[in-house]
Amino acid sequence: MKDYKAGIYLRLSKEDSEVNNSIDFQREITTKYAKEHNYTIVKEYVDNGYSGILSSRPELDKMIMDIVRNKINMVIVKDTSRLTRDKNLTSYYTDILFPDNDIRFISVTEYIDTGERYEIDDVVALRGIVNQCYVEDISKKIKAVKRNFKEQGKFIEGSVAYGYKKDINDPYKLVIDEEVENIIKFIYKSYLDGKMPKQIAQELNNDKIITPSNYLGHKNIGKEWTSSMINRILKSPIYAGNMVLNKYVSNLKLKKMKKTKVGDYEILKDTHPAIISQEDFDQVQKIKSGRIKNEKRTYYYLLKDLPVCMHCGRKMTYKSYHPMIIDKAGNIKGKPDEKAYFICEQHNRNKEVCNVYNKIKEKDLNAIVLQKLSQRLRYLQLHQYAKDVKALKDRQNTELSGIKKIKNEISRLESNFKVLYSKKVEGIITEKEFREKYNAYNEKVTKLKDKVDRYENSKQSYDVRNDVEKLIIEFESCKHFDNAILKKLVEKIEINKNNTINIMFKI
């Protein structure tokens, strides 16, 4: 008989409330099983307070390292949901990690024991799907409870906005913090009087008013008032007595939170005492939306950053009386300047660095560069090659469209399986009916996944194409070059005093 060195893995998340999932209960049931079967427990791994959907947990990571280092060759758990609630990770552990490292896996309450064999039956995969459904269901329920609390006007966030504090007698109720109430009012009044956030921040700093983070006890954070602090206060609906229902959108399954944009806030009005009247708050928002920052000018010209002086090696400066600009939307405004030119300004600044007066018109340089680049491409015979690559990409895009439909079909089948499994659990269908339908489902999903795998393998041959091929396709589809394409084809353009040029190509 093989000498087994067992590791027992125990996990309890914050959401688990059942007694039979407690760490002590898990320890009791797994150690009892090990003793009854004469397995030696060499190590215990406990992750307390970690969700089963997380792929990385402190003790789980240690256990995997011990598996790889051959310190244990058996893993015992109460059930597979203790190991993970992610169906993909369930498959990874039971189909790859454990067999590859000669690990015997035992789930006590589910009567799963891989024994000496490495083939895991369908039950483990089914458990993985069911466990993931559990996490998704819990996530929805928690969101619904939180939403219900907020719609009742109850404050359930951990931290309280500057200017408020929680009621001593009711932790779900906000009351005004009278110690800093006047500072909030001062900020709003100053802004309505025409002062800018930077000016308001400076006045507060001059008056030695401590910042919100320092007032709330956060050390070494925000020691001085800034315009961003003022703007946050000016934009927050909480000061008008309103609560934001969706300030953060959480995903319990992924343990992530995403902040909602101010314009997408769902507001519940009059949930707590207001420091600022609704009229003043609305007026502030109106003023803020009407103030448009000066557009930063981004100048556009074809050979930007490429021309250098052949004599000193410095970049040449672009000069134009009415240059074209790029607006925030990325649109180019203006017309080409016929008198624009490039010049090496080092000649005027320091003749020891550059003793040659070097200047060339932009339109002349553009014409020379485009001509030489076209000759270079013809020399490399890449035009026809570009068409071949484009044909490959078109075919790949067609296949990708089909693969998306296949993936959608797989998702639909998995959803149907969840319903099927629920019917089996509830006794609506028999075990035999469930097994027959599951076999049909499994066969169909396997075939669809094979198609996806074949596509992924063939896609790798397309992805091997280097940047030059992509650039040539881009060039073929453009009526004119642009600066972005040129920078990928050209390293630099050296210019001599007699307007002869030397182009350093990247291709």
Most confident segment among 179-183, 211-215, 323-327, 409-413 = 179-183
DSSP annotation of 31? H
Rounded Cα–Cα distance for residues 211 and 201 (Å): 10
CA angle at 49 for the pair 47 and 55, rounded to the nearest 5°: 60
pLDDT recorded at residue 493: 93
Closest-CA residue to 109 (of 49, 25, 47): 25
Would you state the pLDDT for residue 464? Answer: 43
* CA atoms of 269 and 263, how far apart (whole Å): 16
Give per-residue burial for 329-353: e unless 16+ CB within 10 Å, then b.
eeeeeeeebeebbbbbebbeeeeee
Q: Are 309 and 357 in contact (CB under 8 A)?
A: no
Considering the entire predicted model, what is its pTM?
0.37
Handedness of CA 237, 243, 249, 251 (dihedral sign): positive
Summarised one tens digit per residue, pLDDT across range 99-134 is: 878 899 998 888 888 874 434 455 555 555 555 555
Q: Which residues, at least 6 apart from 397, have a Cβ–Cβ distance to it below 8 Å?
A: none
Tokens of 349: 């600044």
Please tell me the CATH code under which domain 5-125 is placed.
3.40.50.1390
C-alpha 16/C-alpha 57 separation (Å) is 17
The 10s digit of each residue's pLDDT in 30-54 is: 999 999 889 999 999 999 988 877 7
Give me the CATH topology for the region 164-290: Hect, E3 ligase catalytic domain fold (3.90.1750)
More confident: 326 or 339: 339
**Closest residue by Cα to residue 173 from 243, 234, 277, 232:** 243
Q: Is residue 137 over pLDDT 60?
A: no
* Rounded-to-integer distance, Cα 30 and Cα 109, Å: 9
Query: Tens of pLDDT along 206-265?
Result: 999 988 888 877 655 567 898 889 998 998 888 998 888 666 665 544 455 666 676 667
Q: Locate tokens 């076999």: which residue?
A: 439
Mean pLDDT of 190-198: 90
Task: Return the pLDDT at 215.
Answer: 83
Q: How far apart are CA 206 and CA 225, in angstroms?
A: 10
Reported as a single tens digit per residue, the pLDDT across 340-395 is 999 998 877 777 778 888 999 999 998 888 888 877 777 766 555 555 555 666 66
Query: Tokens 């939180």 — which residue?
Result: 146
Give 442-493 pLDDT, tens digit per residue. Answer: 788 788 888 877 777 665 544 444 555 555 555 544 445 677 778 888 889 9
Token pair of 121 as six digits: 């039956």
What SS3 class is residue 498? coil
